[in-house]
Amino acid sequence: MTSYVPARWLPGAHAMTVFASVARPLPRPAARRERWELPDGDFLDLDFLGAPATDAPALVILHGLEGSSRAAYVRGLAALALRAGLAPVALNFRGCSGEPNRLARFYHSGDTGDLDQVVRRLAAARPSRPIALAGFSLGGNVVVKYLGERGDDLPPEVRGGAGISVPFDLARAARALDARGFWNRVYRERFLRRLRQKALEKARRFPSRLDAAAIRCARSFAAFDECVTAPLHGFASAEDYWVTCSARRFLPGVRRPLLLVSATDDPIVPGETVPAEAARANPAVTLVATEAGGHVGFVSGSPLWPRFFAEVRAAAFLAEVVRR
């Protein structure tokens, strides 16, 4: 699938986004979970998916905001990766595996430290085994930032990455979600309801770190990032977090092959924030910007047999990259 033909039975970005999020078929590759202890006393849960060949290159998959290794798009990419001869490993960000993490902190769009620990542990376990990275939405921001901030200073096993529906400008994405409108409210509350629950649980465990009253009142991403994300993770403010961690500013530093798939009608990531010029300026970056597709949607085919263009494209790209 080299070009994207949107599914006619899903008219508009919202239909595409909602179907891909809540109604798409769910591949069910077998999963083996491992808990990795971290030097700071916390842990990460990873799912090793399918039964790949023992010498298969690894593909580390990162989910989006309030997703997990069980997200349909993660499992969809994993199934395609297995068919392409890769060994998918789905990383659950802290607090996203079904069990609260131990520390006051949890995860955010710019947290590349945990990904680095996963990459280095995989590389140490099997030196010279190729490793590819893929991330969706928030996870895509982490992948782009990781590749860009480290540039040539990456383990040689890391051959490249892919980001799907990356929020290149976190401030613009937050403001888009915080804007008025029915669908903005639907998306915003779907995310914030879960985030508030997690933050309130942390406020109960770490009352000196968080203001429970402020969390209960947080009805926008600006408010949530101001009272939770920024103070927990060492940022001066929500604006400081957004500016510091936006993937766009790290694209010039990318030195490994990177595929980016974005839709200009994305209701969460404003189309004008897709960095076409920055992508053209870096020969390591391949940008595929489609007119339709929604957010982590890109559905084509029939209702009985839908296909997902971004995942197909990413699996093919990464399978080629690890074998160069």
Tell me the residue type at 97: S
Residue 27, pLDDT score: 87
Is residue 245 pLDDT above 90, yes or no? yes
Tell me the CA distances in angstroms from 288 to 2, 163, 205, 247, 259, one per residue in order.
Answer: 10, 10, 44, 16, 8
Instruction: Just list the catalytic residues.
Output: 137, 266, 295
Provide the residue range defining the domain that includes 180.
Answer: 170-244
30 and 133 in a single domain? The answer is yes
Question: For residue range 11-44, what is the model confidence (pLDDT) as tens digits?
Answer: 999 999 999 999 998 888 999 999 999 999 999 9
125 and 28 in a single domain? The answer is yes
47 and 148 in a single domain? The answer is yes
Is residue 224 pLDDT above 60, yes or no? yes
Cα 232 from Cα 236, distance rounded (Å): 10
Instruction: Phi first, then psi: give them for residue 288, nearest 5 degrees.
Output: -115, 105
Is residue 8 in some structural domain? Answer: no
Domain count, the chain: 2
Mean of pLDDT values over 312-317: 98
132 and 191 in a single domain? The answer is no
55 and 129 in a single domain? The answer is yes
20 and 53 in a single domain? The answer is yes
Cα 13 from Cα 292, distance rounded (Å): 7
Cα 45 from Cα 95, distance rounded (Å): 9
Is residue 193 pLDDT above 90, yes or no? yes
> Which domain-ending residue is among 244, 260, 292?
244
> Which domain-ending residue is among 226, 244, 262?
244
